[in-house]
Structure 1
Amino acid sequence: MTTRRSTLKLLAAGSLPAMLAMPAARAQQPLLRQLAIVVAFPAGGATDAVARLVADGLRGKYAETVIVENRVGGGGRIGAVHVKNAPADGSVMLFGPAFPMAIFPHIYKTLPYDPLTDFVPVATTSKGAFALSVGPAVPASVRSMADFVAWTKANPDKATFGAPPGGGQHFAGALFAKQAGIPLQMVPYKGGAPSVVDVLGGHIASVVTPLPEVLQHVKDGKLRMLATTTERRSPFTPEVPTMKELGWDVVFQDWSGFLAPARTPADVVARANAAIKEAVASPKVAAALQAQGTDVDINSPADFARLHRQTWERYRDVVRSTGFKAED
């Protein structure tokens, strides 16, 4: 208890300023020595690119050193398991798209992690849609989705699309093929970047992939973007129609975000959320994300948790509608 007598003693000893400064000192938590951002997909893809942008914004703000680790394999499962088993102290976080958390529970009979209990949502950074694009394996005369549908029916042995198996791209392509009644076969890839390399090389007919992974190739005339999976036309590609407006109920626009191991303290999660929010909202990172064709979308941990569960439930219904059978 601080009394008038004790206060006078502190003043006399010169200790009151230090006492008053104590709460502020506690609020200014020291930087972590290192943050490892785990990306479960190959370097060069859209997820990796966004992770590195945010890492630059967190360096010196949240941790002294911020590194991006690409732990590729299992369609994202290897990276997720690594973070699940990491220390719950804010020093290791998973960054990635929704599908390893929202889709995999509905397509694999066994999964080495529980998306809803083994992780705590920290912050979303963006939401992104997919685009169906065709490359040189498809005749230059194919300029629209109607042309593509006709071409696939006439060339069923060549009608392919590349996507990571079990991802949102996979189900966007499968749902489109089912609704359009076309023989479009998926060719599996570990990530979007390798599939784009192959469509550019004419090894596959098309790709369903996040907009940022193909946007520059479309601008350069190397790929033709025929449709997007947005609810409304993307501001980044206003000339490209949505699948919805063309008559197919194929709307996929999912979150990308950071998740930490379960049992990470709430104050650590809140601090990480604030740092990520500041990094993503900075002019440099926001401009870079927009230049890539990514919509900035930042949520609080509580809002992200609700969104996470809603996405999990939505994909449960999507998987059922395609008739996809669980594996493993």
Structure 2
Amino acid sequence: MMRNVGPALAGLGLAFGLAFSLLFTPTAIAQPANQPIRLLFGFAAGSAGDTLTRIVADRMQSVLGQSVVVENRVGASARIALLAVKNAPPDGTLLYIGPNGPMTITPLYDSNAGYDPATDFTPISQLVTFEFSIGVSPKLVPARNLAEMIALVKSRPELGSYGTPGGGSNPHFMAISLAAAAKIDLRPVHYRGSIPALNDVVAGQLPMMVTPLSDQIEQAKAGSLRIIATSGKERSIFAPDVPTFLEQGFPVEALGWYAAYGPAKLPRAIVERLNRIMAEAVRAPEVKDRLDALGFKPTTTSPEALAEQQKKEIDDWRPIVKASGFRAGD
């Protein structure tokens, strides 16, 4: 079967054959050569991260001349998608794209997560970074900054409910930190991704949400949601009129990122080729406006730099998660 791969590729044209051979060396192929590459995204379709994954998929398909499909494996804070990639053969046909939370926070509170971020996956590249933000429903919350929101929640505790993209996510622990600093009771309502939470806030069924800024920008521009704080060290270029948590006197700071991973022991030749293609995907001039609209900054890295960033954030989040007392199933 392996002896027939070269002639088959030659029949599809020299350009395709060269692109394919750079990614899949003969010793690395464990699946039929015509099998699609699948990118697993662990959250709902329609979110900013889902759009990013599809941008990467389009570029990969164009460069490789091979079918690349996106699958939304929703549930368990991306665990379903991650376990599928963990157990996949290391041939590059099943990959994961997702936010940093499942790779840096989830194993800290869930001893039964079923995966070890450091040993069960091969880092490929960080793709983009983004800020988190608090968005409030103008129908329920007249507050225009954190001080007003906190005062409102103290006087009307029923307005202390907030949506998250999932229990144990970065936004969840950011809100826990804010509640402790402000001495207020904030009660999480966990969704499967940001979009269902966003829909409820816009409809006036939920007072507020803590999610990636990228998932709130369009509704904020439309006036159906008001952003009152962002999570970077400095104001976001995507919401320059909104002060940060730090500006407003609260020690809450965090950046999110999306990155790509493969199964453990993914061959270096495949990793390097994917790293280059994915960097081209998010830095292509023709996608800049799309990424800007989503609140994403391209920040591609080497596989080694991604591994180092992941380890640092695990160490940074460990005392915060421990102090919260949160455990899987809470």
* TM-score under structure 1 length normalisation: 0.88
Aligned-residue offset at 1:218: 0.5
Partners of 1:57 and 1:285 within 8 A in 2 = no
1:1-328 equivalence runs, <5 A: 29=22, 33=34, 34-62=36-64, 64-140=66-142, 142-163=143-164, 164-321=166-323, 323-327=324-328
Summarize deviations over 1:155-198 as a string: whole Å, max 9, x none: 11231110011100111111111111111111111111110011
Summarize deviations over 1:93-123 as a string: whole Å, max 9, x none: 1000011111011111222111110001101
- In structure 1, the partner of 2:13 is none
What percent of counterpart residues are identical?
33
Summarize deviations over 1:127-174 as a string: whole Å, max 9, x none: 11111010144243x222111011100111231110011100111111
**SS in structure 2 of the partner of residue 157 of structure 1:** helix
Distance in 1 (CA, whole Å) between partners of 2:316 and 2:101 is 11
Aligned-residue offset at 1:302: 1.1
Moved more, 47-56 or 219-228: 47-56
Aligned-residue offset at 1:84: 0.6
How many matched pairs?
303
**SS in structure 1 of the partner of residue 84 of structure 2:** helix
Letter in 2 for 1:326: R
Aligned-residue offset at 1:25: 6.5
Summarize the Cα distance change of 1:185–1:30 in structure 2 as closer, same or farther, 3 Å threshold: closer
RMSD: 1.8
Aligned-residue offset at 1:202: 1.2
Unaligned segments of structure 2, at least 5 residues: 1-16, 25-32
Partners of 1:121 and 1:304 within 8 A in 2 = yes
**Whose Rg is larger?**
1
Partners of 2:130 and 2:297 within 8 A in 1 = yes
Distance in 2 (CA, whole Å) between partners of 1:148 and 1:251 is 18
Unaligned segments of structure 1, at least 5 residues: 1-23
Partners of 2:100 and 2:256 within 8 A in 1 = yes
**SS in structure 2 of the partner of residue 202 of structure 1:** coil
Summarize the Cα distance change of 1:62–1:312 in structure 2 as closer, same or farther, 3 Å threshold: farther
**SS in structure 1 of the partner of residue 274 of structure 2:** helix
After TM superposition, the runs of 4+ consecutive aligned structure 1 residues lying more than 6 A away are: 24-27
- In structure 2, the partner of 1:13 is none
Partners of 2:23 and 2:274 within 8 A in 1 = no
Aligned-residue offset at 1:312: 1.5
Distance in 1 (CA, whole Å) between partners of 2:23 and 2:253 is 43
